[in-house]
Amino acid sequence: MNPATDPITQPPGRSWRQIRQEVNPVAMSRQGRRRRLAGWVRAVAISATLAGTGWGLYSVFHSWSTDRAGLATAMHSELVSEIRLNNPQGVLTREWAAQVLALPRTASLLALDLPALRDRLLAYGQVQVAVLAREFPGTLVVTLQERAPVARVQAADGLGQPKQYLVANDGVVYEGLNYDKAMLAGLPWLDGIRLVKSGRAFAPIAGMADVSTLLSTAQLQAPHLYREWLIVSLERLAERDEIVVKSQEVPEIVFSRKRDFFKQIAQLDYIVDAAHALTGAPPLQSVNLSYEGQVPVRLLAAPAEPAAAASPFSLQLPQRKTKREL
Protein backbone atom coordinates (compact mmCIF):
# COMPACT_ATOMS: atom_id res chain seq x y z
CA MET A 1 0.00 0.00 0.00
CA ASN A 2 1.24 3.40 -0.95
CA PRO A 3 0.11 6.05 1.58
CA ALA A 4 0.67 8.81 -0.98
CA THR A 5 -1.61 7.37 -3.63
CA ASP A 6 -4.07 5.06 -1.93
CA PRO A 7 -7.31 6.68 -0.68
CA ILE A 8 -7.85 6.88 3.03
CA THR A 9 -10.48 4.51 4.19
CA GLN A 10 -12.58 5.43 7.16
CA PRO A 11 -13.31 2.83 9.78
CA PRO A 12 -16.87 1.68 9.66
CA GLY A 13 -19.28 3.71 11.82
CA ARG A 14 -16.91 6.68 12.06
CA SER A 15 -18.42 9.07 9.44
CA TRP A 16 -18.85 12.70 10.60
CA ARG A 17 -22.53 12.47 9.74
CA GLN A 18 -22.90 9.75 12.35
CA ILE A 19 -21.29 11.72 15.14
CA ARG A 20 -23.83 13.05 17.63
CA GLN A 21 -24.17 16.84 17.45
CA GLU A 22 -26.32 17.55 20.49
CA VAL A 23 -24.92 20.14 22.81
CA ASN A 24 -26.52 20.64 26.17
CA PRO A 25 -27.29 24.35 26.69
CA VAL A 26 -25.81 26.02 29.66
CA ALA A 27 -28.42 26.23 32.38
CA MET A 28 -30.00 29.78 32.45
CA SER A 29 -29.74 31.55 35.77
CA ARG A 30 -32.77 32.79 37.65
CA GLN A 31 -31.88 36.41 36.83
CA GLY A 32 -31.67 35.58 33.12
CA ARG A 33 -35.08 33.93 33.16
CA ARG A 34 -36.53 37.08 34.80
CA ARG A 35 -35.03 39.31 32.13
CA ARG A 36 -36.45 37.11 29.39
CA LEU A 37 -39.89 37.14 31.00
CA ALA A 38 -39.75 40.91 31.38
CA GLY A 39 -38.93 41.25 27.67
CA TRP A 40 -41.95 39.16 26.75
CA VAL A 41 -44.18 41.28 28.97
CA ARG A 42 -42.91 44.52 27.37
CA ALA A 43 -43.50 43.16 23.86
CA VAL A 44 -47.04 42.14 24.75
CA ALA A 45 -47.71 45.54 26.35
CA ILE A 46 -46.42 47.45 23.30
CA SER A 47 -48.53 45.33 20.95
CA ALA A 48 -51.63 45.91 23.07
CA THR A 49 -50.96 49.67 23.16
CA LEU A 50 -50.59 49.88 19.38
CA ALA A 51 -53.73 47.86 18.84
CA GLY A 52 -55.68 50.06 21.25
CA THR A 53 -54.42 53.23 19.56
CA GLY A 54 -55.39 51.92 16.13
CA TRP A 55 -58.84 50.98 17.33
CA GLY A 56 -59.26 54.37 18.94
CA LEU A 57 -58.34 56.18 15.73
CA TYR A 58 -60.72 53.99 13.77
CA SER A 59 -63.50 54.68 16.27
CA VAL A 60 -62.94 58.44 16.02
CA PHE A 61 -62.91 58.35 12.22
CA HIS A 62 -66.01 56.16 12.13
CA SER A 63 -67.82 58.47 14.53
CA TRP A 64 -66.72 61.51 12.51
CA SER A 65 -68.11 59.95 9.36
CA THR A 66 -71.40 58.69 10.78
CA ASP A 67 -72.26 60.81 13.80
CA ARG A 68 -70.45 64.12 13.73
CA ALA A 69 -73.06 65.84 15.83
CA GLY A 70 -72.70 63.25 18.58
CA LEU A 71 -68.91 63.44 18.49
CA ALA A 72 -69.03 67.23 18.62
CA THR A 73 -71.32 67.11 21.64
CA ALA A 74 -69.03 64.67 23.36
CA MET A 75 -66.05 66.94 22.79
CA HIS A 76 -67.95 70.07 23.91
CA SER A 77 -67.49 71.90 20.58
CA GLU A 78 -68.58 75.53 20.41
CA LEU A 79 -71.44 76.74 18.23
CA VAL A 80 -70.65 78.71 15.09
CA SER A 81 -70.59 82.32 16.20
CA GLU A 82 -69.04 83.97 13.12
CA ILE A 83 -68.62 83.48 9.38
CA ARG A 84 -65.53 85.27 8.13
CA LEU A 85 -65.20 85.85 4.37
CA ASN A 86 -61.91 86.27 2.51
CA ASN A 87 -62.70 87.50 -1.00
CA PRO A 88 -60.25 90.31 -1.80
CA GLN A 89 -60.74 90.33 -5.58
CA GLY A 90 -64.44 89.51 -5.74
CA VAL A 91 -67.76 91.25 -5.25
CA LEU A 92 -69.67 88.63 -3.27
CA THR A 93 -70.29 89.61 0.35
CA ARG A 94 -70.28 87.87 3.71
CA GLU A 95 -74.05 88.25 3.87
CA TRP A 96 -74.35 86.38 0.59
CA ALA A 97 -72.11 83.57 1.84
CA ALA A 98 -74.09 83.26 5.08
CA GLN A 99 -77.34 83.09 3.14
CA VAL A 100 -76.06 80.39 0.80
CA LEU A 101 -74.54 78.30 3.60
CA ALA A 102 -77.75 78.60 5.67
CA LEU A 103 -76.25 77.27 8.90
CA PRO A 104 -78.75 76.57 11.70
CA ARG A 105 -78.32 78.53 14.92
CA THR A 106 -77.44 75.36 16.79
CA ALA A 107 -74.70 74.36 14.30
CA SER A 108 -71.54 73.14 16.01
CA LEU A 109 -68.27 74.16 14.38
CA LEU A 110 -66.81 70.67 14.67
CA ALA A 111 -69.96 69.01 13.32
CA LEU A 112 -70.00 71.02 10.05
CA ASP A 113 -69.78 69.02 6.84
CA LEU A 114 -67.27 71.25 5.07
CA PRO A 115 -67.29 69.44 1.68
CA ALA A 116 -71.09 69.70 1.50
CA LEU A 117 -70.98 73.41 2.41
CA ARG A 118 -68.32 74.01 -0.22
CA ASP A 119 -70.55 72.39 -2.85
CA ARG A 120 -73.31 74.85 -1.96
CA LEU A 121 -71.00 77.74 -2.82
CA LEU A 122 -69.65 76.12 -5.99
CA ALA A 123 -73.21 75.63 -7.23
CA TYR A 124 -73.05 79.33 -8.17
CA GLY A 125 -71.04 79.73 -11.36
CA GLN A 126 -69.61 83.00 -10.17
CA VAL A 127 -67.58 81.07 -7.57
CA GLN A 128 -64.57 79.35 -9.13
CA VAL A 129 -62.78 78.20 -5.94
CA ALA A 130 -64.14 77.85 -2.40
CA VAL A 131 -62.12 76.82 0.66
CA LEU A 132 -63.69 76.41 4.10
CA ALA A 133 -61.75 76.05 7.35
CA ARG A 134 -62.52 75.93 11.07
CA GLU A 135 -61.00 78.49 13.41
CA PHE A 136 -61.71 77.50 16.97
CA PRO A 137 -63.57 78.14 19.08
CA GLY A 138 -66.45 79.22 16.81
CA THR A 139 -65.40 80.83 13.51
CA LEU A 140 -65.99 79.40 10.02
CA VAL A 141 -63.52 80.94 7.55
CA VAL A 142 -64.67 81.05 3.91
CA THR A 143 -62.16 81.92 1.17
CA LEU A 144 -63.48 82.55 -2.35
CA GLN A 145 -62.02 83.10 -5.79
CA GLU A 146 -64.54 84.41 -8.30
CA ARG A 147 -64.74 84.20 -12.05
CA ALA A 148 -64.48 87.45 -13.99
CA PRO A 149 -66.97 88.12 -16.79
CA VAL A 150 -65.59 88.80 -20.27
CA ALA A 151 -68.84 88.89 -22.27
CA ARG A 152 -72.62 88.76 -22.04
CA VAL A 153 -75.18 86.44 -23.55
CA GLN A 154 -78.96 86.51 -23.60
CA ALA A 155 -81.04 83.41 -22.97
CA ALA A 156 -84.49 82.50 -21.72
CA ASP A 157 -84.91 81.95 -18.00
CA GLY A 158 -87.11 79.35 -16.34
CA LEU A 159 -90.24 81.31 -17.25
CA GLY A 160 -89.24 81.75 -20.87
CA GLN A 161 -88.35 85.40 -20.43
CA PRO A 162 -85.13 86.82 -21.93
CA LYS A 163 -82.43 87.24 -19.34
CA GLN A 164 -78.85 88.45 -19.34
CA TYR A 165 -76.13 86.00 -18.35
CA LEU A 166 -72.40 86.50 -18.01
CA VAL A 167 -69.63 84.39 -19.55
CA ALA A 168 -66.20 83.85 -18.01
CA ASN A 169 -62.95 83.13 -19.83
CA ASP A 170 -63.36 79.38 -19.22
CA GLY A 171 -66.77 79.42 -20.92
CA VAL A 172 -68.86 79.10 -17.75
CA VAL A 173 -72.23 80.85 -18.04
CA TYR A 174 -73.66 82.34 -14.83
CA GLU A 175 -76.09 84.98 -13.65
CA GLY A 176 -73.67 87.29 -11.82
CA LEU A 177 -74.31 89.21 -8.61
CA ASN A 178 -73.16 92.57 -7.23
CA TYR A 179 -71.32 93.71 -10.36
CA ASP A 180 -71.10 97.36 -11.31
CA LYS A 181 -73.78 98.07 -13.92
CA ALA A 182 -71.51 100.37 -15.92
CA MET A 183 -68.88 97.64 -16.14
CA LEU A 184 -71.42 95.12 -17.37
CA ALA A 185 -72.75 97.57 -19.94
CA GLY A 186 -69.27 97.75 -21.46
CA LEU A 187 -69.05 94.01 -22.09
CA PRO A 188 -69.75 92.82 -25.65
CA TRP A 189 -72.57 90.39 -26.42
CA LEU A 190 -71.90 86.90 -27.72
CA ASP A 191 -73.58 85.63 -30.89
CA GLY A 192 -73.36 82.54 -33.05
CA ILE A 193 -73.52 80.14 -30.11
CA ARG A 194 -76.00 77.56 -28.85
CA LEU A 195 -76.51 77.32 -25.12
CA VAL A 196 -77.07 73.78 -23.84
CA LYS A 197 -78.69 73.09 -20.50
CA SER A 198 -76.65 71.01 -18.04
CA GLY A 199 -78.73 70.42 -14.93
CA ARG A 200 -79.79 73.78 -13.55
CA ALA A 201 -77.04 75.63 -15.40
CA PHE A 202 -75.68 75.88 -18.93
CA ALA A 203 -72.81 73.85 -20.30
CA PRO A 204 -69.59 75.86 -20.78
CA ILE A 205 -69.19 77.57 -24.15
CA ALA A 206 -66.39 76.10 -26.26
CA GLY A 207 -63.75 78.44 -27.64
CA MET A 208 -64.04 81.11 -24.96
CA ALA A 209 -60.34 80.90 -24.13
CA ASP A 210 -59.50 82.33 -27.57
CA VAL A 211 -62.27 84.91 -27.36
CA SER A 212 -61.09 85.99 -23.92
CA THR A 213 -57.53 86.40 -25.18
CA LEU A 214 -58.74 88.57 -28.06
CA LEU A 215 -60.89 90.74 -25.80
CA SER A 216 -58.21 91.23 -23.16
CA THR A 217 -55.62 92.06 -25.83
CA ALA A 218 -57.89 94.67 -27.39
CA GLN A 219 -58.82 96.11 -24.01
CA LEU A 220 -55.18 96.57 -23.03
CA GLN A 221 -53.65 97.46 -26.40
CA ALA A 222 -56.41 99.53 -28.00
CA PRO A 223 -59.12 100.49 -25.48
CA HIS A 224 -60.39 103.16 -27.89
CA LEU A 225 -61.31 100.36 -30.31
CA TYR A 226 -62.52 97.89 -27.68
CA ARG A 227 -65.02 100.37 -26.26
CA GLU A 228 -66.89 100.31 -29.58
CA TRP A 229 -67.19 96.53 -29.85
CA LEU A 230 -70.82 95.50 -29.60
CA ILE A 231 -71.09 91.84 -30.63
CA VAL A 232 -68.61 88.97 -30.86
CA SER A 233 -69.70 86.07 -33.06
CA LEU A 234 -68.37 82.53 -32.66
CA GLU A 235 -70.30 81.17 -35.63
CA ARG A 236 -67.17 80.64 -37.77
CA LEU A 237 -64.84 79.66 -34.95
CA ALA A 238 -65.15 75.88 -35.11
CA GLU A 239 -64.93 75.49 -38.91
CA ARG A 240 -62.79 78.46 -40.00
CA ASP A 241 -60.97 79.54 -36.80
CA GLU A 242 -62.45 83.02 -37.20
CA ILE A 243 -63.92 85.39 -34.61
CA VAL A 244 -66.12 88.10 -36.06
CA VAL A 245 -66.58 91.37 -34.18
CA LYS A 246 -69.23 93.99 -34.88
CA SER A 247 -68.33 97.46 -33.65
CA GLN A 248 -70.01 100.83 -33.81
CA GLU A 249 -67.57 102.04 -36.47
CA VAL A 250 -66.89 98.84 -38.45
CA PRO A 251 -69.83 96.44 -38.91
CA GLU A 252 -67.56 93.43 -39.52
CA ILE A 253 -64.04 92.77 -38.25
CA VAL A 254 -62.69 89.27 -38.87
CA PHE A 255 -59.94 87.92 -36.61
CA SER A 256 -58.13 84.59 -36.93
CA ARG A 257 -57.23 82.65 -33.82
CA LYS A 258 -54.30 81.16 -35.76
CA ARG A 259 -52.59 84.54 -35.92
CA ASP A 260 -51.21 86.69 -33.14
CA PHE A 261 -54.03 88.84 -31.78
CA PHE A 262 -51.57 91.60 -30.86
CA LYS A 263 -50.52 91.98 -34.50
CA GLN A 264 -54.11 91.89 -35.70
CA ILE A 265 -55.15 94.62 -33.27
CA ALA A 266 -52.20 96.74 -34.43
CA GLN A 267 -53.25 96.26 -38.07
CA LEU A 268 -56.84 97.21 -37.26
CA ASP A 269 -55.68 100.33 -35.46
CA TYR A 270 -53.59 101.36 -38.48
CA ILE A 271 -56.46 100.75 -40.91
CA VAL A 272 -58.95 102.74 -38.83
CA ASP A 273 -56.52 105.64 -38.59
CA ALA A 274 -55.88 105.48 -42.35
CA ALA A 275 -59.62 105.52 -43.05
CA HIS A 276 -60.08 108.58 -40.84
CA ALA A 277 -57.31 110.36 -42.74
CA LEU A 278 -59.11 109.95 -46.08
CA THR A 279 -61.18 113.06 -46.62
CA GLY A 280 -64.63 112.31 -47.97
CA ALA A 281 -64.05 108.54 -48.05
CA PRO A 282 -67.01 106.30 -47.14
CA PRO A 283 -66.82 104.52 -43.77
CA LEU A 284 -65.44 101.05 -43.39
CA GLN A 285 -67.82 98.16 -43.98
CA SER A 286 -65.54 95.22 -43.17
CA VAL A 287 -61.92 94.47 -42.33
CA ASN A 288 -60.56 90.94 -42.68
CA LEU A 289 -57.45 90.39 -40.56
CA SER A 290 -57.28 86.64 -41.03
CA TYR A 291 -54.65 86.85 -43.80
CA GLU A 292 -50.95 87.59 -43.55
CA GLY A 293 -49.62 90.65 -45.34
CA GLN A 294 -52.56 92.24 -47.18
CA VAL A 295 -55.84 92.96 -45.41
CA PRO A 296 -59.07 92.84 -47.45
CA VAL A 297 -61.11 95.96 -46.73
CA ARG A 298 -64.62 96.82 -47.84
CA LEU A 299 -66.06 100.34 -47.75
CA LEU A 300 -69.67 101.17 -47.06
CA ALA A 301 -71.35 102.42 -50.21
CA ALA A 302 -73.24 105.71 -50.30
CA PRO A 303 -77.01 105.43 -50.94
CA ALA A 304 -76.57 106.67 -54.49
CA GLU A 305 -73.73 104.24 -55.22
CA PRO A 306 -74.85 100.75 -54.24
CA ALA A 307 -72.31 99.04 -56.49
CA ALA A 308 -69.39 100.48 -54.59
CA ALA A 309 -70.02 98.27 -51.60
CA ALA A 310 -69.51 95.18 -53.72
CA SER A 311 -65.97 96.18 -54.72
CA PRO A 312 -63.57 95.22 -51.94
CA PHE A 313 -59.88 96.06 -52.11
CA SER A 314 -56.79 94.98 -50.22
CA LEU A 315 -54.74 97.38 -48.17
CA GLN A 316 -50.98 96.80 -48.19
CA LEU A 317 -49.72 97.38 -44.67
CA PRO A 318 -46.31 98.92 -44.07
CA GLN A 319 -43.54 96.71 -42.77
CA ARG A 320 -42.83 98.97 -39.83
CA LYS A 321 -45.69 100.40 -37.80
CA THR A 322 -45.57 103.30 -35.42
CA LYS A 323 -46.92 102.51 -32.00
CA ARG A 324 -49.99 104.54 -31.18
CA GLU A 325 -50.19 106.08 -27.75
CA LEU A 326 -53.19 104.64 -25.98
CA dihedral (261, 263, 265, 267) positive or negative: negative
Q: Which amino acid is at 13?
A: G
**172/44 Cα distance (integer angstroms):** 60
Say if CB 215 and CB 224 are below 8 A apart.
no
CA dihedral (223, 227, 228, 230) positive or negative: positive
Residue of 287, 257, 256, 281 whose CA lies nearest to 269: 287
Per-residue pLDDT tens over the stretch 22-43: 555 555 677 766 777 777 767 7
Per-residue pLDDT tens over the stretch 284-297: 999 999 998 889 99
Residue 57: what pLDDT?
67
Domains assigned to the chain = 82-146 (3.10.20.310), 149-316 (3.40.50.11690)
Neighbours of 110 (CB within 10 A): 21
Residues of the chain with pLDDT under 50: 74, 307-310, 320, 322-326
pTM beyond 0.85: the answer is no
